[in-house]
Amino acid sequence: MALLEVRDLTVQFETEDGIVRAVDGVSYSVDSGRSLGIVGESGSGKSVSNLSVLGLTRGTHTRFGGEVIFEGRDLLGMPDEELREVRGEEIAMIFQDPLSSLHPFYRVGDQLVEAVRAHHDVTKRAARDRAVEMLQLVGIPEPRSRVDAYPHEFSGGMRQRAMIAMALINSPKLLIADEPTTALDVTVQAQILELIERLQAETGTAVIMITHDLGVVAEMTHEIGVMYAGRIVERAPTSELFAAPQHPYTWGLLRSIPRLDSPRDEELVPIEGRPPSLITRPSGCAFHPRCPFVREAHTRIDPRLEPVNGKVDHEVACLLSSQTRRDLWQHLAAGEAPDRARAAVPMGDIAE
């Protein structure tokens, strides 16, 4: 049984402008000790779906649907007091900006101690020792003195390490990392990712890595889900996704990664257009306004997630036939522009 299984999760916010469908039917799962990457741009629903796992989006104007099963228990319907016992103890979360995510008025050590004592009836002394231990584990030098520092006295990278320490201090079974490296510079990014990878191997914690940057998840995840407009549009094992991506959005993401080995004057290829409104989704396929390969039917029919070529672990939601997609990717991977690729390939949809 999977450690965490999200089934058809929907999260809707009632606002004065209308209902925001932030998450519109999303399913994914993570097994113990494995890591899952969720990739998408802002507004894709990647953060909201994971915050909802921990119940952090609950409110008077939020509506949920579907299930979130963690070790056989449904977290969506769980009452707050019970859910609080899960948070920080069995599932932990770290966030994008460690400076604003740590309370500026309390010492780092005190915040770690607080995390321990929220779930375990131990003395302050014991909790403090555990805090020092964790700081050591995440590679912070002189942990005995650093434990009494304030967050603003740490550097960016060290702060994120401290956050990781705080998240793992109770040995949770699942760590959700929401864009943990986005606010850090590149060299520190690598260090943090490496750290997470190492800790995962050492402690056996499952990891969900949320990011907009495919490059971040390329190394350390086993599986990747690509989200767009509140839905998963492609899901595949990592190596497969990079080798044979099937969704035009994924193609766009891959091509927009700057590569060290590409010519200097080669222009970056962004995806045209902007993320869609989550209140009024485009008709048919949500991606169609930005898709270089849109056809008439795509404006009417909403594609479902379907396995590719019968492979259960690779799913995609696109109306183009899989042959068309394979051909298109070959052209794009060779460096051709989308319109040229389109011109070169005979376009066909999957059978209705």
Partner 1 sequence: MTRYIVRRLLGMVLLLILVSAVTFLIFNVFPSADPALLRAGRQPTAESIARIREDLGLDRALPVQFGDYIYNVFVHQDFGRSYINNTNVLDQIRQNLPATISLTIGGVLIWMFFGLSVGIISAVKHRTVFDRATIGLSLVAISAPVYWLGLVALYLFAPDFGVFGLGFLGGQGSYTPFSNDPVKWLQSLVLPWCVLATAFAAVYARLLRGSLLDVLNEDYIRTARAKGLSERRVILRHGVRSAITPVVTILGLDIGILLGGAILTETVFNIPGIGRLAYDAILRGDLPIVQGTVLFGAFFIIIMNLIVDILYAFLDPRVRY
Q: Among residues 9, 23, 36, 115, which is the contact residue for partner 1, using CB under 8 A?
A: 115
* 7/84 with CB nearer partner 1: 84
Least distance (Å) between residue 158 CB and partner 1? 16
Q: Among residues 132, 166, 220, 271, which is the contact residue for partner 1, using CB under 8 A?
A: 166
Are the beta carbons of 12 and 62 closer than 8 angstroms?
Answer: yes
Asked if residue 101 binds partner 1 (CB under 8 A), the reply is yes
Least distance (Å) between residue 87 CB and partner 1? 4
Q: Measure the CA–CA gap between 320 and 264, rounded to whole angstroms.
A: 34
Asked if residue 305 binds partner 1 (CB under 8 A), the reply is no
10 Å Cβ neighbour count for 254? 18
Q: Measure the CA–CA gap between 138 and 160, rounded to whole angstroms.
A: 10
What value, to the nearest 5°, has the Cα angle with vertex 200 and ends 194 and 202?
Answer: 105
Tokens found for residue 215: 């490059």
CA-based R_g, the chain, Å:
22
Least distance (Å) between residue 257 CB and partner 1? 28
H helix or E strand, kind and range, residue 86: helix 80-86
Choose the binding region for partner 1 from 67-75, 79-87, 254-262, 275-283 (rule: CB under 8 A): 79-87
Asked if residue 152 binds partner 1 (CB under 8 A), the reply is yes
DSSP string, 174-208: EEEEESTTTTS-HHHHHHHHHHHHHHHHHH--EEE
Least distance (Å) between residue 212 CB and partner 1? 18
Number of residues that bind partner 1 (CB under 8 A): 27
Spell 297-309 as b/e; 16+ CB within 10 A means b.
bbeeeebebeebe
* 39/102 with CB nearer partner 1: 102
Asked if residue 129 binds partner 1 (CB under 8 A), the reply is no
Least distance (Å) between residue 192 CB and partner 1? 17
Asked if residue 137 binds partner 1 (CB under 8 A), the reply is no
Asked if residue 100 binds partner 1 (CB under 8 A), the reply is yes
Q: Among residues 63, 103, 124, 300, which is the contact residue for partner 1, using CB under 8 A?
A: 103
Binding mask 41-60 for partner 1 (x = CB under 8 A): -------------x-x----
Choose the binding region for partner 1 from 15-23, 78-86, 128-136, 341-349 (rule: CB under 8 A): 78-86
Are the beta carbons of 308 and 245 closer than 8 angstroms?
Answer: no
Contacting residues for 115 by C-beta, under 8 A, at least 6 apart: 88, 166, 169, 170
Asked if residue 88 binds partner 1 (CB under 8 A), the reply is yes
Q: Measure the CA–CA gap between 49 and 225, rounded to whole angstroms.
A: 12
> Which among 150, 186, 178 is positioned nearest to 37, based on CA atoms?
178
- The footprint of partner 1 (CB under 8 A) covers 54, 56, 80, 84-89, 92-93, 95, 97, 100-105, 114-115, 118-119, 150, 152, 163, 166
